[in-house]
Structure formats: structure tokens, C-alpha cells
Chain A
Amino acid sequence: MRHRKYPFIVGFLFVPVVLYTVLMVWPYIQTFGYSLTDWSGESQTMHFVGLKNYTTLFGDTVFREALLHNVLLLVFLPVITILLALFFAFMLNVGGRGTTGGVQGVRGSGFYRVVFFFPQVLSVAILAVLFEAVYRSDSGGLLNGILVKIGLENPQNPIEWLNDPGTVLWCLLAIVVWQGVGFYLVLFSAAMQSIPREVFEAALLDGAGRGQTFFRVTMPLLWDSVQTAWVYLAIAAMDFFALVSTLTPGTAYGGGPDYHSEVLSTYLMRNFLFYGKSGYACAMGVVILLITLVVSVFALRVTRRERIEF
């Protein structure tokens, strides 16, 4: 019967592979094709310009600034989110007082878990509306309102959170961290619960404190989950389109003030739809794809460790 195996597999794979090729691979190839033209995006008339779009791209200061912002997000988003999520997951699962009952989470951990997860169920549209109110630039905003109430800020001179080159990107980062921590907390919690209790108990008996247990026992055993989280967050950091385009000042897809919150995806969209430079935008798309691929491969390689069986 062995010789029948391959047609059998092919039979199953044929439809998904065709779908994947038509809906995913072919558009990528088309995009690359368009990136070599001066396509305006509004008709099928275009001219071949070779690699001109790519050479222009590397001299484009706004593109470089956008890239820098994505790199900053790429560094800070995963680190902050994962550390916070790990810390909270640890506290919720094994961080409680070691009593005679064995290893457990802090009191009320079930409640906290729901609270932390809650932001995750909000859609990006709701997030944008919510944080527009939080970061509002006068004392009507939640943050400014509180600062004014406790006397840390002059209501005549409020902080314009999203219109200040020094704060805007970090304000956006805070939103994504706030929203994301809950999800990774649940991810890490699930992983922690699959670690046998005895391991923690043994560590406790050997006199390990909370910190030592965390770094010597929990972290190494969670490495697979952290790796997954890292890749997800890295991809999220390459995007940021929705928040930048809705919350930040600037014409067509935000990115302001004066490009201080510009990211690759918003700059791409502005060129694609607003400036009528779709060919150029496609070149950008190809570059973003390459960067995302490199980042993902890098994240998977660097974090590769030996699997611990238990």
C-alpha cells in the first residue's frame, strides 16, 4: 500500500496549496512587479522604471525615520510586554506565599487574570476612541485631567501627549503594551501550569526565593512560549498602522507631529493612496516584507535553545 501514500497526500494538499498560491504568493509577486513601475494606482497604465523606486527609497529621509521608529518599537514592544506578562503570570501562578498547601498564586489571582485579559477583547477601533479620550490634549483628557487635579500640571499649559515629538511614540507603545500583556499573560500562565508542581516545590525546599525560582526554574521552562510571543510581538511592532493613522496628527494616515510617529505602514499608505505613488509604495511594501522576514527568522534563531523534557 506504501506506493499509494504520495497521491493521497497530494490529494489533500492540492486545494490549499492552490488557494495559497493564488491568494498569497501571486499578490506578492505582483507587488514586486509593480514596485518596478511608476504605477499611479488608479489605472493599468504604467511604465517600467527598473530599480529607481528602490534607490529613491534609500535616500528618503521620511522612510528612514519611519524605519527607525519601527526598529525602536521592535526593541521595546516585545521586551516590555514579555517582561510584564511573565512577571504577572508568575505572580498569578506561583508567586503566592508558599504555605503548607504547596505552590499557588497571589490571592485573587482568578480575578486578576480576567481583568488583565480584558483589554485584549477590545477592537483596535475602540482602542483608538478610548485612548483619544485618555490622551486628549486639554484638561478634558483623562491623563491631563488627573495631572491637573493633583496639581502637577497647569491647565493653561497642558501636555499635548500625541502632539509632542518626545511623547507620541511612547504613548502609542503604551497602548499596545496595555492591550497585549493580558494575552501573553494567559499564554505564559498556561505554559506555567504545564510545569509540574514538584519542580517548584523542590526549588522551595532547597530554599530558593521568588526571584531565584523565577529566573532559574520558570524562565528556562517557558522558553518555547517566550519565543513564540517574541515573534508575534515583533510582527506587531512592524505594523502599528491603525493606532498611528487614527491617533496621531498629520495629513492622510497621521504620523505627526512632523513625522515623529511615522511608521513604515502609514508612510506606505500615504504614498499608495494619497500621493498617487503606488509603484513607489509597492517598493516600500517589498522592503517591509523583507525586513519582517529577517526579523522573524532572526527572532527564531537567536532564541533557539535546547528543549527541556519533563
Chain B
Amino acid sequence: MGSTSEPNRLSRRGLIQRAAALGIVAVPAAGLLSGCASSGGGTKQENGTKTATNPFGVVETAPLDVVIFDGGFGDDYAKRFEAMYRTEHPKAKVSHTATQNITGLVQPRLNAGDPPDIIDDSGNQQIKLDVLEKAGQLTDLTPLLQAPSVDDPSKKVSDILMPGTVDLGTVNGKFVTLQYVYTVFGLWYSGKLFKQHGWSEPKTWDDFISLGAEIKKAGVAPFAHQGKYPYYIDVAIMDLAIKNGGTDFLTRIDKMDPTIWDEDPARNAIEAIYEIVQKDYLLPGTNGMTHIESQTAWNQYKAAFIPCGAWLENEQLKATPSDFEMTFMPMPSLSGDKMPFQAIRGGANEPYIVPRQAKNAAGGMEFMRLMLSKKGATAFAQAANSLTVVKDGVDPSVKLRPGTQSTVTALKAAGANVFNPTYVTDYSAFATDMDNASAELMANRMKPDQWLKTVKASAQKAAKGGS
């Protein structure tokens, strides 16, 4: 298991609003230039007395400034958290800001030394965590891990988290972000469509390809992907490669070892994906579609499989027919895979941060501690149809939607075989280069050989230091 990988994946989830939101930001050249202007500044932090129920010493009257990314999860869940905070600190004024443009809102405040107290740093306009950490803008959240948990004060917060959460929140050796949402990534299909045609879940890639021929005969396109945002197909490619090459491959890609692109796992994976292109299994036009366009076409039974993360169900809530039976499955196995079929990419994402210069940093951490209570986790599952990093956090009386339920099942089946590469956040320029190459491959303008060469060249550049 690596560390921090997922924020970028989830950030794509916010793309629904992205198209519209970005359009408004029509910045002329002069505006871009003045955007670079800045001013310095500093702040004073207040501290109250620390007690068992107030482990961070929150000042009763200190206002709390919350900024939430208003994406696929909405911001209703945050209002529930805020209500919990208000109950605990009735004298504190809690302000709530929801935005799709985290950078635009937060970056000037960081530079001015007057940041919010807690930020959901997600979405397409996310401020990169590696960049923030290097700039010394993040509070070390180790005290949060050491603090007693809300539900059972005899347990520390670190004891109630899903495995890997601390790793994923660690940037350059420091635990600075709370990755709150637990997500898995794989292929999705409609249980109803499969039952109707008598198809069954393909366990190997060969099965997948032969089932594809059958699906095509039935007049459905076997595969759709979110072509405008090649990130999704990248995840599918890399998951095939990681399952094929095992832990060794995973460690080396995260270390940005360029030699892995000469080896079999990478080649096997890209050739497998290219088969989809060659056999013409793609939904017509899918390469140019936004995630919403392609996912909606999939919801309309125009395509059988689509790769995505567990946010898919919440994102497609309105477009999904009630009898669709959204179902999750791991990426099928290639021959010679080092990991079993059940292995999936899974991990925490949706990074919450407390800026170093926040006036009420203690309040920000207390807010996180409340998020990590069972009440918080259940509120999130209800308001956002997603699981959190709180172990067994959801009240069993809460009924989950079929897609979310199928991810819970898959996660249980995977056991310890959950992996999570980190190169996406650590090497953003490399990830972008891979995005571009994969888009070219899917459009059949690039062959697997060229793809490997392009990605390797970019990896070599990234390994030299220009991330």
C-alpha cells in the first residue's frame, strides 16, 4: 500500500460542475498577470485549556471558518458536521462556505496569511497537497491521531481508522491531511442488463474480451469511458498493470522507476486495453465524451462496462433507472497476475486540511475529530452515499444503495489485497503526460509501443526531479 493517491481521482468527480464553473472564469491575459500579485501577512493563534473532552484546547468563543468543496458529495453533510460542532461549542460562530473553486477562494487567503480553519481541498481546482506541504502551509495533524475518539474515549482516533488512512494522509513524511472518504475503483455494470442477457461477470481478461463479442452481438457497446478526462482509463490501465506485476511493480511506479515501462506488466496492461480499441468495443463517441455524458449513456444501457470509482452511484443518482442494479467488480485478471482477481484499488480520499496559519487550528482539528465519530460517519453515508475511513462507522440500520453495497462486498472479498498507487499526486506532470498518451491510444492514434515509449520518456523526466 502506498500513500496519498486518491484526491486526484475524486477531483474528477467534481467535473460535473467543472464545465459550467470554468466557463465563468474567463480570464483575460491582464487578469492572469495581476493574479500573480500578492501580499504578505501573519496571524496569531489562540489556545484554550486542553481537557479530556476538549483535547486540542479549543477556545469556546473562537469562530470556525469551514470551506467545503461542493462537488459530487454536495455540502449537506458538512452542514451536519457543523451542527455537531455548534452543539459542542455553542458560543462559537461557525461559518460555512461551499465552492467548486477551492484554489480561487483559498489561495489568495493562504498567501495573505488569513486562511480558513478547515478546508475540504478537493475538486478540479484543488490546491495540490505536495505543493502546500512543501510551502509549509499545513498543520501537522499528529495530535488528532493521539486524541481520544468521540465514541469511546479509551480508544485513540488512530485506532478507529481504516488501515492505510495515515499513510494516505502523509505527505513527505508528515501526517498533514485527513483523507476522509473510502473509495474503491474498478469496473461497473448493470445487474439488470446482465441478468436479462444471461451474462456473467468476467473474471479474466480473456473472458472479458469474449463476453465483449457477445455483448456487441446484442447491440450494446461493450465498453465506455470518460474520454474527455483520460484519468479514468489511466486508472484502469494501471490497475491491470499493478495486479499483473504485484507489489514490486507498485513500489517501483511510486518511486518513479522508469525501467518498469520496459517490463511485461506495463506491456500486458496496455496491450489488453488496446484490444478494446482494436476490436471496436468502444461506445461510439466515448473518446470525446465528458464523464457525465458517457456515464449517462451507460445508465441508458448503451454500454455494458465503464471504469469508475465508488462515487459513481452518487454522481449518477438522477440518471440511474431504479431497477438498474448498479454493480461493482474488480478489474479482470490478465494471465500471470501476481495479485488475485479480488484485488482492487481502494483507499481514502477527499483530503481535509487545517492550514498552518489558521486562527482556530484547534477548532479545525476538533471538527475532524467529530467527523470521525460514528454519528459523523453515518451522517456522511446518508447525505453523500459514501463510506468513510471510520472503521465500521456506519450504523447498520442505515440501508445502502446497491452500488455502494456492492463496493462493501468487494472490499470484504479483497481483504488485504487493496492497493493504492501514489504517483498521481506526487508527479502531477507525469500523470498529465500519461493522460494525454492514453487518450491518443483510445482514439487509435497511438499504438501500445508508442504509449510505452512516451510514458517512459515522461517518467525519466519526472525521475530527474521536474515533477
Contact = CB atoms under 8 A, between A and B. Distances in A.
Are A and B associated in one complex?
yes
Interface of A: 23-24, 26-28, 30-31, 34, 40-45, 123-129, 132, 135-141, 144, 155-158, 160-165, 235, 238-239, 241-242, 245-246, 249-253, 256-259, 265, 268-270, 272-276, 278, 281-282, 285-286, 288-289, 292
B130 A160 contact: no
B23 A125 contact: yes
Given A268-B32, A269-B32, A43 B440 contact: no
A293 to B, nearest CB: 10
Contact of B230 (A40, A249, A268): A249
A245 B25 CA distance: 10
Contacts of B34: 23-24, 27-28, 31
Contact of B288 (A42, A123, A249, A268): A249
A10 B61 CA distance: 51
B285 A275 contact: no
Contacts of B29: 235, 238-239, 265, 285, 288-289, 292
Interface of B: 19-20, 22-30, 32-38, 40, 103, 107, 110-111, 124-125, 127-128, 130-132, 134-137, 227-231, 283-290, 293, 297, 428-429, 431-432, 435-437, 439-440, 443, 445, 467
Contacts, number: 201
A107 to B, nearest CB: 37
Contacts of A282: 36
23 contacts: A41-B107, A42-B134, A42-B135, A43-B135, A45-B136, A125-B24, A132-B290, A135-B288, A136-B288, A137-B285, A138-B297, A139-B284, A163-B443, A165-B445, A235-B29, A238-B29, A257-B439, A259-B436, A269-B27, A273-B107, A274-B432, A275-B467, A285-B29
A34 B35 CA distance: 12
A251 B131 contact: no
A31 B37 contact: yes
A30 B23 contact: no
A251 B435 contact: yes
3 closest cross-chain pairs (CB), A and B: A137-B288, A138-B285, A43-B135
Given A249-B230, A285-B32, A289-B29, A242 B127 contact: no
A294 to B, nearest CB: 13
Contacts of B132: 42
Contact of A163 (B28, B35, B38, B288): B288
B440 to A, nearest CB: 5
A274 B129 CA distance: 11
Given A129-B20, A246-B23, A289-B29, A251 B432 contact: yes
A137 B25 contact: no
Contacts of B437: 258
Nearest to B131: A276
Contacts of A23: 34
Contacts of B432: 250-252, 270, 274
B327 to A, nearest CB: 25
B342 to A, nearest CB: 30
A249 B253 CA distance: 25
B136 A27 contact: no
A246 B32 CA distance: 17
Contacts of B107: 41-42, 273
Given A137-B286, A160-B285, A249 B32 contact: no
Nearest to A43: B135
Given A42-B132, A258-B436, A289 B33 contact: yes
A283 to B, nearest CB: 10
